[in-house]
Amino acid sequence: MPAFRVNVVSDVHGNAADLARAGDGADALVCLGDLVLFLDYADHSRGIFPDLFGAQNAGRLVELRTARRFEEARRFGAELWAGIDRRPAIERAVRKQYAEMFAAFPTPTYATYGNVDMPTLWPEYAGPGTTVLDGERVEIGGRVFGFVGGGLRTPMRTPYEISDEEYAAKIEAVGEVDVLCTHIPPEIPELLYDTVARRFERGSVALLDAIRRTRPKYALFGHVHQPLVRRMRVGATECVNVGHFAGSGRPWALEW
């Protein structure tokens, strides 16, 4: 019997060229969010922020955030935004990126939101070949996949951050699945530390509890671009970081 293959990507961050090829050789593509590129920490000339304010200011913002001087970073950003109607400016830029990203999705694609995404805009761009799921389940090739999008609240205040309680409710709604797909990792230090940004990102305790309780075969996630550890087992579950697609341009393949 021929194998069924799903290619999985996360943290696309504007890489439409590689996204257009991400489904090659697969029966389906799974995307775990963060389509938008607001600010590239590796290349300060790329993203919405430097398009508006230049690479030098982008570099300064990255410097402040990396040093965890979040209040100073917020004040610096506020000075730059003074006199600009921020929301429509960002929405225009995001719409431009979404038009390109969603056009690159193959059919079928199953996708959920990342913390930098704007869920309210997705219905305008997701075509009939793209299924958007958040706190929901779907069967792909005879296996049940559960999807939970977004991130938890942080000092970064990215667009799709929700409370721990809201996130836990979505995890609970998914229930028992074969493959649990989320944007953020479970709350395990080795999976949360970004070796380049030099900080711990937020993970979910509710997600870790669900993995231990429901024992999916796989737990797939992104969010941490250069993790200390890319995969580890938690009981019966293989936990795998499938990002950072923007940098690698290569999907992670799941076959059965």
Per-residue pLDDT reduced to its tens digit, 205-217: 999 999 999 999 9
Is residue 2 over pLDDT 70?
A: no
The stretch 67-88 carries a mean pLDDT of 91
pLDDT of residue 89: 93
pLDDT of residue 250: 97
Dist CA 63 CA 175 (whole Å)? 41
Tokens in use for 31? Answer: 């995307």
Is residue 35 over pLDDT 80?
A: yes
pLDDT of residue 83: 87
Crossing angle of helices 70-81/55-66, nearest 10°? 160
Residues with Cβ within 8 Å of 41's Cβ and at least 6 positions away in sequence, in order, are: 62, 66, 196, 197, 225
**Cβ atoms of 219 and 174 closer than 8 Å:** no
Confidence of residue 1 (pLDDT cuts 50, 70, 90): low
The reply to whether omega before 123 is within 30° of 0 (cis) is: no
Confidence of residue 99 (pLDDT cuts 50, 70, 90): very high
pTM across the whole model: 0.93
DSSP 8-state assignment for residue 30: E
Is residue 239 over pLDDT 80?
A: yes
**Cβ atoms of 252 and 19 closer than 8 Å:** no
Q: What is the CATH class of 5-35+105-255?
A: alpha beta
Confidence of residue 242 (pLDDT cuts 50, 70, 90): very high
Listed by start position, the domains of the chain span 5-35+105-255, 48-81
